[in-house]
Amino acid sequence: MGRGRQKAKQTKVARELKYASFEPNYEALERELSGRRSDVATTSRYDSDDEYDKDPYSDWSDER
């Protein structure tokens, strides 16, 4: 795509974003700003001690 067509496409997208009417989700914004995490799971996949605590290179280490 040439530079002229690329710039025209970017201008079109920017104009659509500028003049589009979006309905803000104030409840989600309030949760994000207050730090409450009711919808998101608080457990992480890194919480399990088994898999991530073991050093994969400890088997080859000289120190035992």
Q: Which are the contacts of 39, defined by CB distance < 8 A and separation ≥ 6? A: 31
pTM higher than 0.75 for the full model?
no
Q: What pLDDT score was predicted for residue 3?
A: 83
Number of domains in the chain: 1
CB 46 within 8 A of CB 52: yes
Given a cut of 50, the residues of the chain with pLDDT beneath it are none
Residue 23's domain comprises: 11-35
Q: What pLDDT score was predicted for residue 60?
A: 74
**Would you say residue 20 lies in a domain?**
yes
Secondary structure (3-state) at 9 = helix
Q: What pLDDT score was predicted for residue 30?
A: 93
CB 32 within 8 A of CB 40: no
Distance CA 17, CA 33 (A): 24
**Would you say residue 4 lies in a domain?**
no
Q: What pLDDT score was predicted for residue 2?
A: 72
- For residue range 32-48, what is the model confidence (pLDDT) as tens digits? 999 866 555 555 555 55
**Would you say residue 62 lies in a domain?**
no
**Would you say residue 19 lies in a domain?**
yes
Could you say which DSSP state residue 38 is in?
A: S
